[in-house]
Amino acid sequence: MTEKKQEERGSAAVDRTEERADEQALVQAVLAGDRQAFGRLVRRHQKRLFRFVYGLLGDFDQAEDVVQDAFVKAFGAMGMFETGRDFYPWLSTIARNLALNLMARNKRKESLDQIHDAGFDPASSDLGALEQMIANDGQRRFYAALKALPEQYRTVFVMRHIEEMSYEDIAAQLNIPAGTVDSRLYRARQLLVAALKDLL
């Protein structure tokens, strides 16, 4: 390994250590009653958490709602947070559970096709800011294909490729063996390639 790469790795490790120490200080401040410290935790993690939840749900408005609910629940449950642990994995578990609950509720509702057949036109020109940014056909089709994946495949795909989590971290968060993570990722990729083959 070159000397420059060793220096870069060492610098990144120092940055992560300082960032973790800063986050632990924020957590301690929140536990001591400092609401502004929680606001700083929100600002630190909201974009990453939104990308994660949006990847699970594929819907801008629902993702915004789940992220907001996750922060509210996290604030209310800070007394149960184990100090010394990283904050984001705990927060993303709350958000994931909320997103999974929402997906289960959505499955029980009438399908969009049934509503459309009844004469309701769901098309709307009122797009949110993120929806406008991802309006090109390829990205829109990718997210539609991702949303169509069965929940167990979509979850590991989002955790690995959007959250960039390691197999071990995914396995720990989902309480499944790393081999199961690997097989679900493989199946998710197969299904996405099949759904998007004309774009590849």
Output the CATH code of domain 9-126. 1.10.1740.10
Q: Find the mean pLDDT for residues 116-128.
A: 44
pLDDT of the residue at 17: 82
The answer, yes or no, to whether residue 121 has pLDDT greater than 80, is no
pLDDT of the residue at 66: 94
Task: List, by residue range, all CATH 1.10.10.10 domains of the chain.
Answer: 136-200
pLDDT of the residue at 197: 82
pLDDT digits (tens, 9 = 90+) for 137-173: 677 788 888 889 998 999 999 998 888 889 998 999 8
Residue type at position 100: L
Tell me the pLDDT band of 136, cut-offs 50, 70 and 90.
Answer: low
Query: What is d(CA 72, CA 141) in angstroms, rounded to the nearest whole number?
Result: 32
pLDDT digits (tens, 9 = 90+) for 55-96: 999 888 999 999 999 999 999 999 899 888 889 999 999 999
pLDDT digits (tens, 9 = 90+) for 31-62: 999 999 999 999 999 999 999 999 999 888 99
Tell me the pLDDT band of 196, cut-offs 50, 70 and 90.
Answer: confident
Task: List, by residue range, all CATH 1.10.1740.10 domains of the chain.
Answer: 9-126
pLDDT of the residue at 3: 63
Query: What is d(CA 88, CA 104) in angstroms, rounded to the nearest whole number?
Result: 24
pLDDT of the residue at 142: 84
118 Cβ partners below 8 Å, 6+ apart?
none
- Dihedral of CA atoms 18, 48, 25, 32 in degrees, nearest 10, equals 180
The pTM of the full predicted model, rounded to 2 decimals, is 0.67
Residue in 103, 200, 182 with CA at minimum distance from that of residue 149: 103
Q: Find the mean pLDDT for residues 102-125.
A: 55
Output the CATH code of domain 136-200. 1.10.10.10
Q: If 0-12 CB within 10 Å is exposed, 13-18 middle and 19+ buried, where does residue 194 land?
A: exposed
